[in-house]
Structure 1
Amino acid sequence: MPLLIAILAATAPLAAMATERWGGLNPCLLCLWQRWPYWVAAVLALLAYLLPRRLMLALAGLAILTSGAFAVVHLGVEAKWWPSPLPGCVAPNASAGQSVEEMLASLSPRPAKPCDEPTYLVSGLPISMAGMNLIYAVALGGVALWGARRLR
């Protein structure tokens, strides 16, 4: 079970990176924040071979559910229910009195995508990448917590 959770946890951010590289999708800052809990979960699941298995699987499940919590925030931003909590999610705009040079200097080196623009992996499927992550995180986090509970 720990190895399966570690592999499935690492699969989520790797799949997201694959959509960037081969699918041409550009992630926003909230997209990037949803990835790191999966890496933490993968490490925690592997630590279950060295430390108390039940505890490590439970912590891995909670880490995965943290990504799901980020996905809920992201879905709310996409639906425009609330503003993004991250200042880097706002598309750059020109301020009054700024010169072109000042505007260019303020841009980040990596192109940013506004967090309130949903990214759809499958055209015609009305669920964004954040929505897919929420479903995956709840399912995988639930399996990890169920596995930890089963280890009594």
Structure 2
Amino acid sequence: MSQTNLRNLGMLAGAGSAALLAAALTFQQLGYAPCELCILQRWPHLVAAIIGGLIAVLGWKRWLALLGMLAAMAACGIAIYHAGVELQLWQGPQHCSGGVGGLATMSTQDLMAALEKAPVVRCDAVAWSFLGISMAGWNAVCSAGLTGIWAACLRGRKRLGGLA
């Protein structure tokens, strides 16, 4: 694969993460408030989008492709975790999944303070879905695809027989 093709592949993967960020922000503007895990899923996409921009400016570098792939993998992992919380496959963070740990032993003042700090949006509630898949689920699917694009970008130079 040529340097230009590898550069384009890295820019495509970065643009994919930027598009997922734009979609998340659009849903937020439409009234779908994000939970804590939703926000957490955005950070690796921001990193991957920045790396795609760096590849556009600096050209293809193996280490940038590796970092982009790791960022996409992190986004995918967080999204899978979040989708599993929504599907009740495992527990999410207690403070945003409706946990009642220690509720019986709390004083009224402690309970009120905890309620004031509690996030409005629960991590275990599906706010929107399409074809039976939540936003977190779609993020997992898209992030897995982006991880594959980054992996192809990373492997491409090996075929040329050198490191950059």
TM-score category, normalised to shorter length: 0.7 to 0.9
The CA deviation string for residues 81-105 of structure 1, in whole angstroms up to 9 with x for no partner, is 2111x34323386945644x76554
Find the counterpart in structure 2 of residue 133 from structure 1.
139
Q: Does 2:151 align with 1:142? A: no
Letter in 2 for 1:41: A
Q: Distance in 2 between matches of 1:26 and 1:69?
A: 21
Q: Which of the residues 39, 50, 53 maps onto 1:46?
A: 53
Letter in 2 for 1:63: A
Q: Distance in 1 between matches of 2:98 and 2:90?
A: 16
TM-aligned CA distance change 1:55 to 1:7, over 3 Å: same
Find the counterpart in structure 2 of residue 29 from structure 1.
36
After TM superposition, the score normalised by the length of structure 1 is: 0.81
Find the counterpart in structure 1 of residue 23 from structure 2.
15
**8 Å contact 2:15–2:52 — kept in the other structure?**
no
The structure that is helix-richer by fraction is 2
**8 Å contact 1:91–1:112 — kept in the other structure?**
no
Residue 16 of structure 1 and its aligned partner are, at CA, apart by: 0.7
Find the counterpart in structure 2 of residue 108 from structure 1.
117
After TM superposition, the score normalised by the length of structure 2 is: 0.75
Residue 31 of structure 1 and its aligned partner are, at CA, apart by: 1.2
TM-aligned CA distance change 1:50 to 1:88, over 3 Å: farther
Identify unmatched segments of 5+ residues in structure 1.
none
Letter in 2 for 1:46: G
The CA deviation string for residues 47-95 of structure 1, in whole angstroms up to 9 with x for no partner, is 33437612201210221111110111112211212111x3432338694
Find the counterpart in structure 1 of residue 162 from structure 2.
none
Letter in 1 for 2:135: M
Q: Does 2:84 align with 1:76? A: yes
Q: Distance in 2 between matches of 1:87 and 1:112?
A: 13
**8 Å contact 1:29–1:112 — kept in the other structure?**
no
Aligned residues: 146
Q: Percent identity?
A: 30
**8 Å contact 1:120–1:126 — kept in the other structure?**
no
